[in-house]
Amino acid sequence: MMMSRKSLGIVALGLLAAVAAGPLMGDVALAGGKVKATIDGKKFSSTSQATTAVAVTSPPYVTINATKVNIRTQSTASITILINVDLTTLATPATIPAFTTTYGYGGIGGVQETYFGQNTINVTIKKFKNNKIIGTFEGTLAPGATGSGGPPVSVERGKIKVKLAAPPI
């Protein structure tokens, strides 16, 4: 089963957003890893090659972007979490509200759904050692600009395990 141009575009957009943002932000570190959660009752588990993290110290923040690609159903899902935190001075464990969180999914001929939250997802960084972030996240996201405009969705049992390619600068 071959992916259509639209599906390939969705996959490429998620990966491009994560990778291309790095050079635009100055001092960054890109990563790989895994993000898992139950979102609106559905299991989300990122593809390790499509999971990135960027850590910047000025201004201090961490962005984690994770994409799940399902070639069988020709669909993708992606979550991006932006946290205002300086990893170089963070005492762990620490719980921080995510400044913004976006989640979206879609496939060929299907409805594209997006959800957004500002300070509605709490991220707990349990450990930051050897450039590895280990933590959890949970909360709710409201419907975004596309899709059905239905009720907010819950984000439960989220797990983060990403390793920075270089220390945050």
**Domain regions of the chain by residue span:** 5-164
List all residues 6 or more positions away from 41 whose beta carbon is below 8 Å from its beta carbon: 154
Contact 112, 147 (CB under 8 A): yes
Q: How many angstroms separate the first and last alpha carbons of the chain?
A: 43
pTM for the model: 0.77
Query: Which tokens belong to 65?
Result: 């972007």
Classify residue 112 by its DSSP letter. P
Q: Give, in order, the Cα–Cα distances in Å from 13 to each of 10, 53, 57, 134, 139.
A: 5, 16, 26, 26, 25
Helices (H) and strands (E) in the chain, counts: 1, 11
Please list the pLDDT of the chain residue by residue as tens digits (169 residues).
Answer: 333 444 334 433 344 344 434 433 434 444 578 999 999 899 999 987 778 887 887 788 888 889 888 888 888 899 999 999 988 899 999 999 999 999 988 887 666 788 999 999 999 999 998 888 999 999 999 987 665 567 889 999 999 998 876 677 6
